Structure 1
Amino acid sequence: MTEPSVPEWVQSLGELATDLQNRDGTESTLSSIVASAVGLVPGARWAGVSVITDGAIEVAASTHSLVAELDEIQVAVGEGPWTSALRQHRSVHVADMATDTRWPRFASAAVARGVGSSLSFRLFAEQHRVGALTLYGSEAGAFTADSLVIGDLLAQHASLAMIGVAVEGQFNRALATRDVIGQAKGLIMHQQNLSGLEAFQLLVRTSQNGNVKLVDVARWLVEQHEASLRGGRR
């Protein structure tokens, strides 16, 4: 019995998932996503990931400067496909930019720049940040049913990758915080002949009395110690 053939894009998505796991940092991850989008999604000529953080909008990654320009237009006119994707929590397909009536001001500007169609997918949502993946085609009707399926799967991969990057970042920050507090506690133990618990309690009291975060107190102590060491070597 002949095994059913697997579409090439399925294998490519699997390879992308592996690649994203090996990426280091948000910028590298998003750059890989948009580059893969143009290669995998039928009809996609340009791609970008746009992010809104505390109301500020930026293009986090793109395959062409046109993407940033289109983002700026959507912000300026207050309408467009990817902003709708963010608000409506779903994908938005513009089959023919020249005849679409949902965002007339944006559509007119996009057509003038050679854009015929688009696909937008909401990527991720955090407390102060949301993002969207938008694909642009140079012709009307550039995107097919396969484009929608592949684009949606790619967006899901991207969302998972971004969550992973965020979690890793939080973990690394937690490790850094623990390390600097440990260093400060060690300095206090050595300088004031205190136990580990007594040194930590002193750090906590200093933090509370000064209304300063514990990690900031610890960092200041460590920096002062390092500065004194550098001064002593002069």
Structure 2
Amino acid sequence: MANNFVGDDAARHLQDLLLGTENVEDFLNRLAEFSAATLSHTTGAEVECGVTLQRRKRTMTVAGSSPRAVVLDRIEQSLGAGPCIEALRTKTVILLADVDTDSRWPDYQRQLAAHGCRSTLGVPLEIGEDAAAALNFFGADTGLFTEDIIAEASGFADLAGRALRLAVRIATVQSRAEDMHAAMEHRTSIDLACGVVMAQNRCSQDEAMAILTRVSSNRNQKLRDVAADVLRNVTGEEVRTHFDA
């Protein structure tokens, strides 16, 4: 065995992936590439990797180490059965050692064989209560996924799952921050438009808001868009609100 699939190097690389990616999709693709490269080095043979996501009992391919890995992973999703889906269901590593001798998923195995894939390994990742993911490894030969490789892949999956959970949390926080920033901008635009209506109609703030709301309802237009129209009519250009980053 060339090197340990689980260890400080893997942990450091996963940390680098988190720091070097801008979104979860990018992280998943780079995770698939790293997983495939590492296991290829460990087994001494080419291994490809797809990433399957499960939400509300539905599975989908979300990343791959190569276009071919995505195609191989999607075969299982289209059939709705196979080692990766079984790994997600049982939360255990599932091995398909030989597509010619295993009898569990004949349709799936025939399609894998047609694509030159002889063995697969499904490794589940824990990422949250309402979602799960799995690494789907594909080998062109049989006998690649030995007991030692399976044990090391399981340990790596624990590290990868932690990194993926953190990536999802970071993305969630960023999304919420962006939503809050947008809400603040919209609120400020509405308040500015209220001030314009108050000045034009010499009315109270409540009366100005009622006018804007009525226009929004009559036009079937969002209140923030009505406010933007009011400000555009006054200034002749788009009005942007500004907040410190």
Shorter-normalised TM range: 0.7 to 0.9
Equivalent residue in structure 1 for 2:123, among 97, 120, 131: 120
Change (3 A) 1:163 1:201: farther
Aligned mates of 2:164, 2:233 — CA distance in 1: 43
What's 1:161 paired with? 167
What's 1:3 paired with? none
Residue segments in structure 2 that go unaligned for 5+ positions in a row = 239-245
Kept in 2, the 8 Å contact 1:38–1:47? The answer is: yes
Instruction: Summarize the alignment of residues 35-74 of structure 1 with structure 2, pairs less than 5 Å apart.
Output: 35-41=33-39, 42-43=42-43, 45-51=47-53, 58-74=60-76
Residue segments in structure 1 that go unaligned for 5+ positions in a row = 1-5
What's 2:243 paired with? none
Once the two structures are TM-superposed, the CA of residue 54 in structure 1 deviates from its matched residue by 7.2
Change (3 A) 1:104 1:188: same
Instruction: Summarize the alignment of residues 142-181 of structure 1 with structure 2, pairs less than 5 Å apart.
Output: 142-143=144-145, 144=149, 145-181=151-187
Change (3 A) 1:177 1:219: farther
TM-score (norm 2): 0.70
AA in 2 matched with 1:75: Q
Instruction: Summarize the alignment of residues 91-106 of structure 1 with structure 2, pairs less than 5 Å apart.
Output: 91-98=92-99, 99-106=101-108
Once the two structures are TM-superposed, the CA of residue 7 in structure 1 deviates from its matched residue by 8.2
Aligned mates of 1:38, 1:151 — CA distance in 2: 13
TM-score (norm 1): 0.72
Once the two structures are TM-superposed, the CA of residue 96 in structure 1 deviates from its matched residue by 0.3
Kept in 2, the 8 Å contact 1:133–1:155? The answer is: no
Change (3 A) 1:153 1:186: same
What's 1:33 paired with? 31
AA in 2 matched with 1:206: T
What's 1:202 paired with? 209
What's 2:227 paired with? 221
Kept in 1, the 8 Å contact 2:54–2:132? The answer is: yes
Secondary structure, counterpart of 1:24 in structure 2: coil
Deviation track 1:143-185 (CA, whole Å, cap 9, x = no partner) reads 3122221233223322321232233223212221222222222
- Count of residues paired in the alignment: 220
Aligned mates of 2:48, 2:192 — CA distance in 1: 54
Once the two structures are TM-superposed, the CA of residue 23 in structure 1 deviates from its matched residue by 1.8
Change (3 A) 1:94 1:31: same
Once the two structures are TM-superposed, the CA of residue 30 in structure 1 deviates from its matched residue by 1.6
Change (3 A) 1:45 1:189: same
Aligned mates of 1:8, 1:31 — CA distance in 2: 19
Instruction: Summarize the alignment of residues 18-29 of structure 1 with structure 2, pairs less than 5 Å apart.
Output: 18-29=16-27
Deviation track 1:36-78 (CA, whole Å, cap 9, x = no partner) reads 1122333471112234567876532212222232233223322
What's 2:241 paired with? none
Aligned mates of 1:85, 1:200 — CA distance in 2: 61
Aligned mates of 1:227, 1:63 — CA distance in 2: 52
What's 2:109 paired with? 107
Aligned mates of 1:179, 1:13 — CA distance in 2: 40
Aligned mates of 1:85, 1:217 — CA distance in 2: 48
Equivalent residue in structure 2 for 1:78, among 77, 80, 98: 80
Change (3 A) 1:130 1:201: farther
Which has the higher mean CA deviation after the structures are superposed, 71-80 or 24-33?
A: 71-80
Q: Percent identity?
A: 18
